[in-house]
Structure 1
Amino acid sequence: MADNISSQNIDNDHRELSRRGLLFVLSSPSGAGKSTLASMLLQADDEIAMSVSVTTRAKRPGEEHGKDYYFVSGEEFEEMVADHSFLEYATVFGHRYGTPAVPVNESLADGQDVLFDIDWQGTQQLYQRAGQDVVRVFILPPTLGELRSRLDSRNTDSPEIIESRMQRATSEISHWDGYDYVLINDDLEACFAKVKQILATERMRRARQTGLIGFVRDLMAE
């Protein structure tokens, strides 16, 4: 893991107007659209990159270590927990997932935004560790009936799994008020436009303009 998440030097010259990155979280019940929206955002915006998680689940065909996930054993995962190496971690459907802190912090310092497709528990942990850098967006389905219809149309899960996801959805939706923004995904393109608008607005926050103080100082000295 150390080879994959090594440290790097940071340019501290504040005379140039620069920006600190942000942690952009998309959460939703399964089927409400967060993964689709995340994929669209990654394709449309080269200033944001997907967070690469550590996981204990087996590698699937076509997946690459360090690109899709960092694949580790249960013992290695526990060691990282003990070393406080994660910004957030959770157990999902029997497998453990966590966000390594070092590469995320390096991205923030370099002005690179990091995208997270995580649930409310992971979002809560992330906010506790890095609140000033976190922007939380929750995606709601227009109705629970529409959510079930979307899960059915995937043709990838058994009726039992779909029912489990619907029960989980009710719990996840109950945490909507722990987010900064809440969107209803009744039209994918319209919802995506709002996601982009939120990201653009948050990038312009004064607190994230790390070169602003030096820029204004130099401006006033002219």
Structure 2
Amino acid sequence: MEFDKGLLIVLSGPSGVGKGTVCAALRNFMPELVYSVSATTRNKREGEREGINYFFKTKDEFEQMIEQDQLLEWAEYVDNYYGTPRGFVEATIDQGKDIILEIEVQGALQVKQKFPHGIFIFLAPPDLEELRNRIVGRGTETEETINNRMDVAKEEIELMDNYNYVVVNDQVAHACESIRAIVTAEHLKKERQIAKYRKWLREV
């Protein structure tokens, strides 16, 4: 463990649990966090900026990134590719900055295979009834889709054991405080502190 490197924080959980809402609130709670920028093959929308919203790639460019193992994870959705560029994440960490990746559960498990020393946080609903209410509250899903999402959510909750921490998103502010406490604790781990002091002792 290198004490002078940043942390990769992976936040994931079932659809509807509020990952995007919590990440948006974290910008105020932890303004020092760097937010991972995904690569995509979809067309740039009005107002979106390269390297801010996404890294925009052609299909050929994206497939070359897959072949060259330049992505921590990727998926295809509605005929477009989406993925997390390894280079951006590693460069940020090497600069000593913490980076957070908001992602679906399957993507998080892909990242863990390639970056097992990351900090994996599972964002959980207070209960399944509340999760269903949040999905219904969107007003954009059919009853069949809602039932399908709930079935998937149950499967994803079963994968909670693959994570380091579980944060219940009962209130967004409480969830943000918990995530901030986790990041603080990770920086205070003895492995990081011992490495730092040993380096200082060698330099005396």
Quickly name the TM-score band, shorter chain normalised: 0.7 to 0.9
Report if aligned partners of 2:5, 2:97 keep a CA contact under 8 Å in 1: yes
Report if aligned partners of 1:87, 1:98 keep a CA contact under 8 Å in 2: yes
Give the count of matched residue pairs: 202
Indicate yes or no: 2:148 matched with 1:164: yes
Q: TM-score, length-normalised on structure 2?
A: 0.87
Name the structure 1 match of 2:177.
193
Indicate yes or no: 2:187 matched with 1:203: yes
Name the structure 2 match of 1:125.
110
Where 2:173 maps in the other structure, the secondary structure is: helix
Unaligned residue ranges in structure 2 (runs of 5+): none
Report if aligned partners of 1:25, 1:115 keep a CA contact under 8 Å in 2: yes
Where 1:62 maps in the other structure, the secondary structure is: coil
Deviation of the 1:154 alpha carbon: 2.1
Q: Provide the identity percentage.
A: 37
Name the structure 1 match of 2:137.
153
Unaligned residue ranges in structure 1 (runs of 5+): 1-13
Report if aligned partners of 2:9, 2:119 keep a CA contact under 8 Å in 1: yes
Q: TM-score, length-normalised on structure 1?
A: 0.81
Alpha-carbon separation, structure 2, partners of 1:162 and 1:91? 21
Where 2:4 maps in the other structure, the secondary structure is: coil
Q: 1:103 aligns with which of 88, 91, 98?
A: 88
Change (3 A) 1:165 1:59: farther
Report if aligned partners of 1:28, 1:119 keep a CA contact under 8 Å in 2: yes
Taking the TM superposition and a 5 Å limit, the aligned residue runs for 1:89-100 are: 89-92=74-77, 94-100=79-85
Deviation of the 1:192 alpha carbon: 2.0
Report if aligned partners of 1:87, 1:126 keep a CA contact under 8 Å in 2: yes
Where 1:68 maps in the other structure, the secondary structure is: coil
Deviation sequence 1:141-183 (CA, Å, 0-9, x none): 1222211111122234444443332232122212111100112
Change (3 A) 1:142 1:92: farther
Deviation of the 1:24 alpha carbon: 0.3
Deviation sequence 1:64-119 (CA, Å, 0-9, x none): 22111112222221111111111222234553221111121111111111111112
Name the structure 1 match of 2:66.
81
